[in-house]
Amino acid sequence: MDTARAIDYKRLKVTSSAFKENGSIPVRYTCDGDDINPPLSISQVPAQTKSIAIVVDDLDAPGGSWVHWVMWNIPPSTRQVKENEAKGLQGLNDFGRHHYRGPCPPRTGIHRYFFKIYALNCVLDLPASATKHDLEKVMSNNIVGFGELVGLYTRKK
């Protein structure tokens, strides 16, 4: 996200009934559990929103950012993404998959997982092979709102 423009965005509120901001992500939503996406709630979405996009990544991965989920063209009326639900088109994550893959860090240290929600003033034309990089490039000038929820996870030794 272009941080220089970030101040122009409306702040979305992103929450989950599964974990709190900077709280532990339950095992159910990780590779050590059912590996399904947690429920997400979105509020304060701008009226001019035409679609919503979601990116989930781990910025503490050993090689840098590791993408767990990329989804776009979520209907603008969406206020909840239920557990194990895909509401839009899913792109390619860093596991080489077209669906959510939960936290699965090395067995040392706590990792932060950023559930980023973007409100866009358009519907995107992207192929299923699109990655986080492709999504960010196409949506960069169309973001009208942004919010995120950070969850933590560490694997048991």
Predicted confidence at residue 106, as pLDDT, reads 84
* Entry pTM: 0.93
> In the chain, how many domains are there?
1
pLDDT tens column, 50-88: 999 999 999 998 888 999 999 999 999 999 999 999 999
Predicted confidence at residue 37, as pLDDT, reads 98
Computed over its alpha carbons, how large is the radius of gyration of the chain? 15
In a domain, 56, yes or no: yes
Q: Give the confidence band of 109 by pLDDT, cuts at 50, 70, 90.
A: confident
Q: Give the confidence band of 157 by pLDDT, cuts at 50, 70, 90.
A: low
- Residues in the chain, overall count: 157
Cα separation, 74 vs 52, whole angstroms:
5
Among 85, 78, 89, 88, CA closest to 43? 78
| pLDDT at residue 5 is higher than 70 | no
Domain that holds residue 33: 6-144+146-153
CA separation (Å) from 133 to 12, 60, 136?
22, 18, 5
pLDDT tens column, 26-41: 999 999 999 999 999 9
- Quick one: tokens of 119? 């409100």
* Residue 85 CA from chain centroid, whole number: 13
In a domain, 1, yes or no: no
| pLDDT at residue 2 is higher than 60 | no
User: CATH number for the domain including 81?
Assistant: 3.90.280.10
Predicted confidence at residue 107, as pLDDT, reads 72
What secondary structure does DSSP assign to 9-44, as a single string? Answer: SEEPEEE-SS--TTEEPPGGGSTTTT--PPPEEEE-
Q: Give the confidence band of 18 by pLDDT, cuts at 50, 70, 90.
A: very high
Predicted confidence at residue 62, as pLDDT, reads 86
- Quick one: tokens of 30? 């990780």
- Mean pLDDT for 115-121 is 98
